[in-house]
Copies of this chain bind each other. A is one copy, B any other.
């Protein structure tokens, strides 16, 4: 036995092994000792550590949908690679396990360990949640990443989701979203009156106050609704996603003005109990894989959007237009009204908005001074 024990000791001292290796060491040492008629306690407390984990991740998107749907696929790949298969994550499209808008509940209840979605879908449960996805005239993707990571945003986000047993993490930005596809030209505020436009969430509320008729339908119905005239206009995402839906075939104008979702950022939802049950190294792998998937998705949109717009203009003769200044000013004024009402209505909204808006005001001025001027001067 001494030879063996020394050998074990030698291996241990030369190699700072992982906890998992120690466990295996423990198990085998125990078996070995038993088989040779000696007795020693194995480290039972550590047996959890050697487990492998199979997680399910449900999404609000069709499986492998460009951009949005690739973020969780990247995440799953990163986790699998870094954990050497100790944690595998299987990604399910909307409707495969639960419908797209039941992702939050499924993660909260522990039906699945993870989800990938957009925070504004949970407005009914958490009035402050849209702040963690996109706000009209709010932060861009880069600004939002900075607020979440170094501006206090992550702490507030966790506080809001904590009562539901969910740990939220950044899930990739789709970049600044275009105002959308229009079959009616918008030359003044008057043209918004009666405009039937697919525009969900707070954007739709603002349009309604400006005299329009917001409609909420899923992405798959936009094309036929524009074609039939049931809709006068619709937003979707931006050139990369819009090109693949073929909206240029059924709409005259593409309005490139950014206002309702200037930096839509998706989210990973993690069941807190499942996360806490992981050994520490796998917790870090999950956390950093979300960070890497967040960056990859933003990079992907940044790289694809401008090429897709070039294709729309050069190959499909799309006419790109900007909303007139009085329309923009009106939408911004109404946005402030709507936000003020939400501040008055919900304490948590007010709390999160305070942090968000202070950061936005400061970084907004900074980017007017620096990047705005730079985009002009670069020529």
Report A's interface with B, CB cutoff 8 A: 1, 3-4, 7-8, 11, 15-21, 24-25, 27-29, 31-32, 34-36, 50-52, 78, 81-86, 88, 137, 140-143, 145-151, 176, 178, 256-259, 262, 279-281, 284-285, 288-289, 291-292, 294-296, 298-300, 302-307, 309-310, 320, 322, 328, 332, 359, 362-379
Q: A15-B52, A81-B284, A259-B374 are in contact. List 17 more A-B contacts (CB 8 A).
A: A4-B34, A16-B86, A17-B24, A20-B20, A24-B28, A28-B28, A81-B281, A81-B288, A84-B281, A140-B371, A141-B142, A148-B299, A150-B299, A258-B377, A305-B366, A332-B377, A368-B376
Contact B372 A302 (CB under 8 A): no
Q: State whether A145 and B299 are in contact (beta carbons under 8 Å apart), knowing that A82-B285, A85-B16 are contacts in the complex.
A: yes
Of chain B, the residue at the smallest CB distance from A365 is B306
Measured CB to CB, the closest approach of chain B to A1, in angstroms, equals: 7
Complex CA–CA separation, A61 to B224 (angstroms): 58
Contact B284 A291 (CB under 8 A): no
**Complex interface: chain B residues within 8 A of A322 (CB):** 373
A-B contact pairs, 9 of them (CB 8 A): A17-B50, A18-B20, A18-B84, A84-B280, A142-B302, A150-B302, A176-B374, A256-B373, A258-B373
Contact A375 B366 (CB under 8 A): no
Contact B35 A78 (CB under 8 A): no
Complex CA–CA separation, A96 to B96 (angstroms): 56
Of chain B, the residue at the smallest CB distance from A359 is B303
Contact A145 B295 (CB under 8 A): yes
Find A298's partner among B7, B142, B176, B304 (CB 8 Å cutoff): B142
Of chain B, the residue at the smallest CB distance from A360 is B378
**Complex interface: chain B residues within 8 A of A146 (CB):** 299-300, 302-303
Find A145's partner among B302, B310, B378 (CB 8 Å cutoff): B302
Measured CB to CB, the closest approach of chain B to A297, in angstroms, equals: 10
Measured CB to CB, the closest approach of chain B to A35, in angstroms, equals: 5
Contact A304 B150 (CB under 8 A): yes
**Complex interface: chain B residues within 8 A of A83 (CB):** 281
Of chain B, the residue at the smallest CB distance from A50 is B15
Contact B150 A369 (CB under 8 A): no
Assembly stoichiometry (copies):
2
**Complex interface: chain B residues within 8 A of A1 (CB):** 35
Interface centre among A18, A147, A176, A368 (most CB of B within 10 A): A18
Q: Enumerate the 5 nearest inter-chain pairs by beta-carbon distance, A residue then B residue, closest first.
A: A150-B303, A146-B302, A306-B366, A28-B28, A84-B281
**Complex interface: chain B residues within 8 A of A280 (CB):** 81, 84
Of chain B, the residue at the smallest CB distance from A81 is B284
Q: State whether A363 and B302 are in contact (beta carbons under 8 Å apart), knowing that A32-B28, A176-B370, A320-B369 are contacts in the complex.
A: yes
Contact A374 B52 (CB under 8 A): no
**Complex interface: chain B residues within 8 A of A19 (CB):** 84
Contact A372 B366 (CB under 8 A): no
Complex CA–CA separation, A289 to B288 (angstroms): 7
Contact A376 B370 (CB under 8 A): no
Measured CB to CB, the closest approach of chain B to A123, in angstroms, equals: 23
Contact A306 B363 (CB under 8 A): yes
Measured CB to CB, the closest approach of chain B to A331, in angstroms, equals: 9
Complex CA–CA separation, A118 to B51 (angstroms): 42
Q: State whether A4 and B52 are in contact (beta carbons under 8 Å apart), knowing that A21-B24, A150-B303, A304-B150 are contacts in the complex.
A: no
Complex CA–CA separation, A21 to B84 (angstroms): 11
